[in-house]
Amino acid sequence: MKIGCCGFQISRNKYFENLRLVEIQKTFYKPPRLSTLERWRREAPGDFEFTVKAWMAFTHDPRSRIWSKTGLPREEDYGLLKPTKRNFGIWEEFKEVIKKLNVRVVVFQSPPSFKATKENVNNANRFFSSIKGDFRLAWEVRDESWVLSKDFYLILKSHDITHVVDLLRKTPLYGKFRYYRLHGARKDKKIVYSYKYSKENLSNIVSLIKKFQLGENYVLFNNSYYSFENAIQLKEMLAQSK
């Protein structure tokens, strides 16, 4: 059972003393310098695990509002999991990030605008079939059309991709390991990331983890200000429930 946070919400030294897993978020916007990654790996304990959120240059639309953060031009051959020369070219760059941190899991997150159209299904299938390596894939879709599509399960199974979910909201459809990203509460359709999970919430999470658990189970808190506190609480509750 691996418990951690999406990003370092406190000093790295204090984080390393208390947890053994983190999902790096900076890689989503633009990969950090390799020297920075080397320093993080050197500072961390030997048994500490880094997972990374894949660069949005693979998953998002170049016309999107946040694309400028990638540092790449707004060319249509980028993003949206297209099996293009440009996407595979920057994937080769991104693999250096994976190597420097000795990453075992790469997490892809598609935007809500990325729907399970015939074109997107075909592109995703071809893209994921072309990026195999010494790491495992996990994919968080944010539009319901994917979960309702038979093609989604076939892609997950064909390429051995773990379905990433918020455990209090969705049930994982496939995976040889579990990967949960806990985003906080919701107000209408918006996510309230500053939500602090109650003991009742955490107790429910413990029950759900046990219900769906496999050999390896990653649980990442993404509720910003309270993620570290909630991660420690969950870690203690799981230890007590053995």
Taking residue 196's Cβ as centre, other Cβ atoms within 10 Å add up to: 14
Q: What is the model's pLDDT at position 186?
A: 81
pLDDT at 242 over 80: no
CB 56 within 8 A of CB 28: yes
Q: Which residues of 141-179 are buried (b: 16+ CB within 10 A; e: fewer)?
A: beeeebeebeebeebbeebebbbbbebbeeebeebebbb
Write the pLDDT tens digit of every residue in 28-38. 999 999 999 99
Predicted local distance difference test score (pLDDT) of residue 193? 82
Query: Average pLDDT over the chain, rounded to whole?
Result: 96
Q: Can you read off the two tokens belonging to residue 116?
A: 């399970």
Under CATH, what is the fold of the domain 2-240? TIM Barrel (3.20.20)
pLDDT value, residue 127: 98
Distance CA 193, CA 174 (A): 26
- Residue 188 pLDDT greater than 80, yes or no: no
Q: Say what percent of the chain tops pLDDT 70.
A: 100
Whether the per-residue pLDDT at 52 is higher than 80: the answer is yes
